Amino acid sequence: MKNRSPLTITISLAILAATSLPIVAQQSKRYPTENQLQQLMNQFRNFVDSPPEGSRGFYLRDTRNAAQSQKLIAFVRAWLPVNPDVVPFLGQWTALEETMNIYPSTIKGQVCIIETFIPPSDEIGISFAKGTISGKHIRTSERTILVLKGNYLGVAFINTSNDRPGIYEYAWPKPLRNLAELMRGIPQVDRNRFLQQFKEAGCTESLPKQR
């Protein structure tokens, strides 16, 4: 997880974003412990069962149209025989300021994660990570743990500024974005690096090849 700049649309939304988003100056140095993960899972379940109203109300409403839902379902079904454990996580997940795009890999139990966000002035607004299935969760190369409940995705992490656990919520997965579109506007050197990492991890934005 990266630092996020508060939204500037309204003062109230900026305050909410600043107080609710994970404040992680660097990549986490460790994963949450099992006890911490269980506590975060309970917090996540409570969020899913009763999402907050107000400016975070989009968590309550599924804004996907029928075509988007059908496209994602078809993509997931195609990958089910190839990489079954990862398919519940696939898609573009949305939060307040960012998206998390989870792509399948031809290597069983693995995924690629491309996150877009509003960057601090010294960063680009995109990051890459690899993920590996661990039980019912995904452990990422950024030392976060991805958990699922229905149409909600939780990202469990350790805040590097105070070593405390936290969880951040995404919702309503949509079809994956085209890589070229996703990386539009970032420097060529960064684009090449992400694409190389993506390729080396066996990841793809396409349907699996017919056997």
Give percent above pLDDT 90 in the chain: 69
Distance CA 43, CA 112 (A): 26
Q: What pLDDT score does 122 carry?
A: 67
Query: Which residues is 128 bridged to in the sheet?
Result: 114
- 150: closest CA among 68, 44, 72? 44
Asked whether the predicted pLDDT for residue 150 surpasses 80, the reply is: yes
Residue 85 has which token pair? 């454990």
Asked whether the predicted pLDDT for residue 139 surpasses 60, the reply is: yes
Query: Which residues is 165 bridged to in the sheet?
Result: 158
Q: What pLDDT score does 27 carry?
A: 64
| Domain assignments of the chain as residue spans, ordered by start | 11-200
Distance CA 199, CA 118 (A): 25
* DSSP letter for each residue of 35-80: HHHHHHHHHHHHHHHS---GGGGGGG-----HHHHHHHHHHHHHHT
Backbone angles phi, psi at 20, to 5 degrees: -105, -20
Q: What is the pLDDT of residues 195-209, one digit of tens each?
A: 999 999 999 999 998
Coil vs helix vs strand at 1: coil
Q: What is the pLDDT of residues 26-41, one digit of tens each?
A: 467 899 999 999 999 9
Query: Helix, strand, coil shares of the chain as percentages rounded to 5?
Result: 30, 25, 45
What is the average per-residue pLDDT within 103-118?
A: 95
